[in-house]
Amino acid sequence: MNQQGKKSILIVDDVKLFQLFLKLSFEPEDYNLLFAERGKEVLDIVMHKSIDLLILDLKLPDMDGLEVLRNIRTITRDMQSIVRLENLPVIILTAYPTEEARHEAEKLGVVAFLSKPIKKESIRRIVRKALEEHPEHRLQRKLILCVDSEPRVQKLYEGALTTDEWGVICSSNGLEALEAVEFKNPDLIIIELNLPEMSGFEFIQELKESNRDIPIIVVSSLADKESIQKAKKVGVRDYLTKPFCLDELRRSIKEALKEKTKLKNV
CATH number, residue 171: 3.40.50.2300
Work out the percent of the chain whose per-residue pLDDT is above 90: 56
Q: What pLDDT shows up at residue 74?
A: 76
State pLDDT tens for residues 78-88.
444 334 566 68
pLDDT at 2: 54
Helix axes 174-184, 99-107, angle to 10 degrees: 40
Tell me if 1 is assigned to some domain: no
Residues paired with residue 53 on neighbouring β-strands, in sequence order: 9
Parts of the chain with a pLDDT under 70: 1-5, 75-87, 134-140, 263-266
On whether both 74 and 192 belong to a single domain, the answer is no
Considering its fold, how many domains does the chain have in total? 2
CB 178 within 8 A of CB 202: no
Check: CB of residue 9 under 8 Å from CB of residue 32: yes
Task: Tell me whether residue 121 is in a domain.
Answer: yes
**Dihedral (C-alpha) 43, 49, 53, 58: value to the nearest 10 degrees?**
-20
Identity of the amino acid at 179: E
Same domain, 169 and 104: no
What are the beta bridge partners of residue 169? Answer: 145
Structure letter (DSSP) for residue 6: P
Please indicate, yes or no, whether residues 26 and 47 belong to a single structural domain of this protein. Answer: yes
Is residue 69 within 8 Å of residue 102, measured between CB atoms? no
Q: What is the pLDDT of residue 72?
A: 84
* Spatial separation of the C-alpha atoms in residues 219 and 122, rounded to whole Å: 38
Angstrom distance (rounded) from CA 153 to CA 151: 5
Structural domain span for residue 230: 141-265
